[in-house]
């Protein structure tokens, strides 16, 4: 080998050895955190572009010394992985079913929801103090007391930081200017009401949407695309009106409750018929609730329709802990009894899963797996709502027609068509083009709002969303699981080390940039798990963890973590040098063998 080449190779080898030794030299004093950040592969109102949000957070966190690996996968696999706790941090969100704080923090941050394998509490956060407050609040009927209990729970959650709450996003939709009285429901487009909507010079209204319904059986579906259609076909004892998240009487006309909050008597509306011509009465209510209660246990029904049976039925998820029973008092009175108080009971009656179905129709089409029968309500629904089903072309069109026997105000349009257009650009084009093929579409990303705003003949609709997008820290894993007590620089006293790491991450994330670049002004910065639109329990005294990279670095330094920025160029250089060193050694070895 020539002397100059030999000298160069020796230099490369030495540099490679230094590069290989450097990380160990650094870690002898401090540890650099290396964490996975899972981001959603799908667009949702609370995260319209999850990848872009993740990339901003990656940049922010690497600037304070935390090495971040971004991970994503198929949506079904993503949900399973986060429920199993595979992540260090993960992005998820939630849209309200009902306007009650329990629908956010009870569902997402109570320790009972932190079961590996089925977790909805994907932070795996467990606080006895928070659990006690949530348990007390959901069993309290005095709303003033509940408000205080939820605010106290919000304060503890803020201090212990299982999440970095990012945003409460607007729900965005568009409609032709010829369409009147269309409003976006506060809980999201899946709950939109179309009975009041009209279109000048037309009897037909076409709603463009991103996907098909899964099922039109209220005991089964939990997805927004199904509820979007079923909402027009069924009624509950209470319904949420078009422009409010507060449930109002529908098939029930009112209720009385016992002093101890354990017994409710509901008076039912008389003269109502299902679209199959049968009468609505107390027997219908008892049948519908008991059917919803038993549905989660009926694996045969799920399997023969190609669905996976749930771990727990949705009825059990809402009422299971309270041992609710229902009985018929007379033809138009029903009684609900609880072993323990469930505070938001009346509000919960507005949820789609508790829609009332026709016992006569269901019993006339029994499940018979050997005969290959299916759940008729899933594909041929019968309800008491303003519309009824005409046809369903899978992954294409669902057509509804006005129900002439509807008990309430008659629907303004004779026909509703729900049209599947999976691609966002194509769906927006179908509304904004020179010859529109749809009249309304929702689930518009903030990045596409300007297109609708600039289009002639189109109205852009925006509604403050009852949702939250958040980054969850996995408290099953280090560094978040470290329980060593350390001084708390923000709130005084001592706190767990893992909580301070989570808080440092909160300080490191530039939410203002995320809101500006990704949400483009169509969201508000989050500081509570539940949105400000749910006034009960919203703790406005909490201050945001404002973006402060220096403070994040000081916190991490104090805990023994490297806080100098992760520099891609530096790391890449030493990786290259190290690789060249190995290559040079290999070449020299090969030449020696010769």
Model pLDDT, residue 510: 98
What confidence category does residue 374 fall into, taking pLDDT thresholds of 50, 70 and 90?
low
Mean pLDDT value across residues 312-341: 87
50 SS3 class: helix
pLDDT at position 222 over 70:
no
pTM given for the model: 0.78
Mean pLDDT value across residues 85-114: 91
Mean pLDDT value across residues 239-252: 89
**Gyration radius from the chain CA atoms:** 28
Residues 6 or more apart in contact with residue 402 via CB below 8 angstroms:
386, 387, 410, 411, 413, 414, 415
pLDDT at position 223 over 80:
no
Model pLDDT, residue 305: 45
Mean pLDDT value across residues 366-370: 62
Mean pLDDT value across residues 368-374: 58
Model pLDDT, residue 367: 63
Model pLDDT, residue 121: 95
Highest-pLDDT range among 25-39, 242-256, 563-577: 242-256
Question: Where is pLDDT greater, at 545 or 8?
Answer: 545
pLDDT at position 369 over 90:
no
Model pLDDT, residue 312: 44
Q: Which two tokens stand for residue 369?
A: 């797996």
88 SS3 class: coil
Q: Which two tokens stand for residue 378?
A: 């899933």
Question: Comparing C-alpha atoms, which of 489, 265, 279, 243 is closest to residue 384?
Answer: 279
What confidence category does residue 141 fall into, taking pLDDT thresholds of 50, 70 and 90?
confident
Checking phi first, is residue 182 left (phi over 0); if not, alpha (psi -120 to 50) or beta?
A: beta
pLDDT at position 73 over 90:
yes
What confidence category does residue 458 fall into, taking pLDDT thresholds of 50, 70 and 90?
very high
What confidence category does residue 307 fall into, taking pLDDT thresholds of 50, 70 and 90?
very low
pLDDT at position 22 over 60:
no
Q: Burial level of 261, CB count in 10 A (0-12/13-18/19+)? A: middle
Q: Which two tokens stand for residue 248?
A: 């109002």
Judge whether 251 and 272 are in contact, CB under 8 Å. Answer: yes
How large a percentage of the chain has pLDDT more than 70? 86
Q: Burial level of 410, CB count in 10 A (0-12/13-18/19+)? A: exposed
Model pLDDT, residue 301: 46
Model pLDDT, residue 444: 85
**283 vs 272: CA distance, rounded Å:** 13
Which DSSP symbol is given to 538? Answer: -
pLDDT at position 43 over 50:
yes
Average of per-residue pLDDT values in the chain: 86
Judged by average pLDDT, the poorest of 38-47, 334-343, 377-386, 432-441 is 38-47
Which DSSP symbol is given to 44? Answer: B
Question: Where is pLDDT greater, at 303 or 30?
Answer: 30
**400 vs 415: CA distance, rounded Å:** 6
**185 vs 82: CA distance, rounded Å:** 29
How large a percentage of the chain has pLDDT more than 90? 63
Model pLDDT, residue 573: 39
pLDDT at position 286 over 80:
yes
Mean pLDDT value across residues 221-234: 86
Q: Which two tokens stand for residue 280?
A: 């609505």
Q: Looking up tokens 């909507």, which residue turns up?
A: 197
Residues 6 or more apart in contact with residue 255 via CB below 8 angstroms:
264, 265, 266, 267, 346
Model pLDDT, residue 1: 55
Mean pLDDT value across residues 237-247: 87
Judged by average pLDDT, the poorest of 205-219, 296-310, 349-363 is 296-310
Mean pLDDT value across residues 117-143: 93
Question: Where is pLDDT greater, at 567 or 416?
Answer: 416
Question: Comparing C-alpha atoms, which of 141, 136, 41, 44 is closest to residue 93?
Answer: 44
């Amino acid at each position: 080998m020539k002397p100059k080449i030999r000298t160069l190779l020796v230099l490369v080898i030495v540099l490679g050895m230094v590069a290989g030794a450097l990380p160990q030299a650094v870690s002898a004093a401090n540890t650099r955190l290396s964490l996975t950040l899972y981001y959603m592969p799908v667009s949702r109102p609370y995260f319209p572009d999850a990848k872009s949000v993740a990339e901003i957070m990656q940049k922010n966190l690497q600037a304070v010394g935390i090495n971040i690996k971004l991970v994503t996968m198929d949506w079904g696999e993503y949900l399973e992985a986060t429920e199993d706790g595979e992540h260090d941090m993960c992005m998820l969100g939630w849209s309200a079913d009902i306007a009650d704080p329990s629908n956010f923090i009870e569902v997402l941050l109570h320790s009972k929801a932190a079961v590996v394998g089925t977790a909805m509490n994907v932070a795996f956060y467990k606080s006895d103090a928070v659990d006690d407050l949530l348990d007390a609040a959901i069993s309290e009927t005095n709303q003033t007391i509940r408000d205080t209990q939820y605010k106290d729970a919000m304060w503890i959650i803020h201090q212990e930081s299982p999440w970095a709450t990012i945003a409460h996003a607007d729900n965005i939709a568009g409609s032709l200017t010829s369409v009147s009285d269309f409003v976006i429901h506060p809980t999201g487009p899946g709950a939109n009401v179309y009975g009041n909507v009209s279109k000048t010079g037309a009897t037909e209204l076409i709603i463009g949407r991103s996907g098909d319904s899964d099922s039109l059986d209220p005991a089964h579906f939990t997805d927004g695309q199904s509820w979007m259609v079923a909402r027009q076909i069924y009624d509950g004892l209470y319904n949420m009106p078009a422009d409010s998240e507060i449930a109002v009487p529908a098939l029930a006309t009112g209720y009385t409750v016992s002093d101890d909050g354990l017994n409710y008597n509901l008076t039912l509306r008389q003269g109502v018929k299902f679209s199959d011509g049968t009468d609505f009465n107390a027997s219908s209510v008892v049948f519908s609730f008991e059917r919803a209660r038993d549905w989660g246990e009926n694996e045969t029904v799920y399997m023969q329709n190609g669905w996976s049976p749930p771990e727990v039925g949705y009825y059990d998820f809402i009422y299971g802990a309270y041992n609710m029973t229902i009985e018929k008092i007379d033809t138009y009175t029903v009684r609900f009894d609880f072993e323990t108080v469930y505070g938001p009971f009346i509000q919960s009656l507005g949820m789609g899963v508790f829609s009332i179905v026709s016992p006569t129709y269901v019993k006339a089409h029994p499940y018979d797996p050997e005969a290959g029968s299916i759940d008729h309500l899933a594909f041929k629904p019968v309800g008491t709502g303003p519309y009824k089903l005409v046809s369903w072309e899978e992954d294409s069109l669902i057509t509804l027609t006005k129900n002439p026997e509807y008990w309430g105000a008659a629907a303004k349009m004779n026909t509703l068509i729900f049209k599947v257009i999976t691609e966002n650009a194509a769906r927006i084009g179908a509304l904004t083009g020179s010859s529109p093929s749809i009249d309304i579409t929702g689930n518009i990303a903030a990045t596409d709002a300007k297109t609708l705003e600039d289009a002639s003949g189109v109205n852009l609709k925006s509604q403050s969303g009852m949702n939250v997008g958040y980054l969850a820290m996995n408290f099953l894993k280090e560094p978040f699981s470290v329980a060593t007590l350390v001084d708390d620089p923000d709130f005084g006293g001592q706190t767990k080390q893992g909580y301070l790491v989570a808080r440092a991450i909160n300080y490191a994330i530039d939410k203002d940039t995320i809101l500006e670049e990704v949400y483009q002004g169509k969201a508000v910065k989050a500081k509570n798990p539940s949105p400000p639109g749910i006034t009960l329990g919203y703790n406005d005294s909490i201050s945001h963890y404002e973006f402060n990279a220096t403070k994040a670095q000081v916190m991490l330094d104090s805990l023994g973590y490297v806080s100098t920025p992760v520099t891609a160029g530096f790391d890449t250089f030493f990786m290259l040098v190290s690789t060249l060193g190995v290559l040079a050694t290999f070449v020299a070895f090969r030449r020696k063998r010769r």
